Amino acid sequence: MNTRLLEVLVCPLTKGRLEYDAQRGELISRGAGLAFPIRDGIPVMLVEQARKLESQDNAAQH
């Protein structure tokens, strides 16, 4: 994931910072509790396409 792109992208719901999960290929918004997929190197920043974070996903990063 391009670090410059990660600095510019924000969560479409909270406008907050995103974290890159390389293992899952997702951008994580802790504030919204969502994980946005990255497909073919392109972040899909649509809430409808996001995966809802489960409690272990949130706990794993803290």
Let me know if residue 58 belongs to a domain: no
Q: Give the pLDDT of residue 25.
A: 93
Number of structural domains (the chain) is: 1
Answering whether pTM is above 0.85, one says no
For residue 25, the enclosing domain spans 19-52
Structure token digits, residue 34: 């969502």
Tens digit of pLDDT for each residue in 4-55?
888 889 999 999 999 999 999 999 999 999 999 999 989 999 999 999 998 7
Contact 21, 2 (CB under 8 A): no
Task: Reply yes or no on whether the pLDDT at 3 is more than 90.
Answer: no
pLDDT at 2: 75
State the DSSP H helix or E strand holding residue 3, giving kind and residue range, or none if neither.
helix 3-8
The enclosing domain of 36 has a CATH number of: 2.20.25.10
pLDDT band at 1 (very low <50, low <70, confident <90, very high): low
